[in-house]
Amino acid sequence: MSDGQQQDPNTNAQGAQEPPIDWHDKFLGQKKVNTDLEAKLKAAREKADRVDDLEKQVADWEKRGTEFDSAQATIAGLQKRVLQANVTAAATGKLINPSDALKLIDFSDLTADDQGGYDQQAIGEKIDALVTAHPYLAQGGNNAGLAGIIPPSGVRDGDHQAGQLTRDDLKNMTPKQIDEARRKGRLNDLLAGRSK
């Protein structure tokens, strides 16, 4: 061949002829390759669908986890309120200001039972220990109010009879005067049996 001539790509350079191409075998081979690729594509799509389902499940579990954490926080808050109510109820009658028990006693070692209640005996013991350690907090002989101030009784210098009427005083009074004295509290000792 000369340089000016082009060689036919289907012919062999040495002039020998190749055997004829079996197109049927090539078709069957390509068909098998296509079938394998379709099976792999179908399997990949199924895996992708399963991955999508798993991602949805993971998102659902994460959402449930967040809801669970929120519910746990709500339960903890409610348990704290139940404990505060139990402590306040147990301290009422023992302390001047029952809320002092919440401020001065550590209740962190108490846990709620299955029903959400607390050991009343343990709470009572802690309040009793507070009263023993700080008797000035106890309700009782002290007539002081919440601010610690004893209210005035209306009498001065121990004269408990001043302003109070006796039976002898009533003998010289009209019913209208007696009723007015009762409204002003001047008959309190007499009505309570403390006066003669």
- Least confident range from 18-27, 104-113, 114-123, 143-152: namely 143-152
In a domain, 130, yes or no: no
* Mean pLDDT over each residue of the chain, to the nearest integer: 81
Domain residues for the domain of 180 are: 162-196
Once rounded to an integer, what is the mean pLDDT over residues 103-126?
87
Report phi then psi at 11, rounded to 5: -105, 150
Q: What is the Cα Rg of the chain in Å? A: 49
In a domain, 113, yes or no: no
Cα 44 to its chain centre, rounded Å, is 46
Bigger pLDDT: 94 vs 143: 94
* DSSP conformation class of 9: T
- Measure the CA–CA gap between 113 and 119, rounded to whole angstroms: 8
Decide if 88 contacts 101 (C-beta within 8 A): yes
Looking up tokens 């296509």, which residue turns up? 34
pLDDT reported for residue 3: 54
Report phi then psi at 152, rounded to 5: -70, 145
In a domain, 75, yes or no: no
Decide if 186 contacts 165 (C-beta within 8 A): yes
The model's pLDDT over 49-106, given as tens digits with 9 standing for 90+, comes to 999 999 999 999 999 999 999 999 999 899 889 989 989 988 888 888 888 888 888 8
pLDDT reported for residue 44: 93
Q: Which of 159, 174, 171 is nearest to 196 (CA)?
A: 171
The model's pLDDT over 181-190, given as tens digits with 9 standing for 90+, comes to 888 888 888 8
Decide if 101 contacts 127 (C-beta within 8 A): yes
Is a pLDDT exceeding 80 seen at residue 22? yes
In a domain, 149, yes or no: no
In a domain, 196, yes or no: yes
In a domain, 122, yes or no: no
Query: Helices 23-91 and 120-133: crossing angle, nearest 10°?
Result: 50
Bigger pLDDT: 3 vs 171: 171
Residue 196's pLDDT band, with cuts at 50, 70 and 90, is: low
Structure tokens belonging to residue 129: 């220990």
Is a pLDDT exceeding 90 seen at residue 171? no
Q: Which of 131, 127, 82 is nearest to 105 (CA)?
A: 127
As a whole number of Å, the end-to-end CA separation of the chain is 157
Bigger pLDDT: 122 vs 163: 122
Q: Which amino acid is located at 89 in the chain?
A: A
In a domain, 111, yes or no: no
Number of domains within the chain: 1
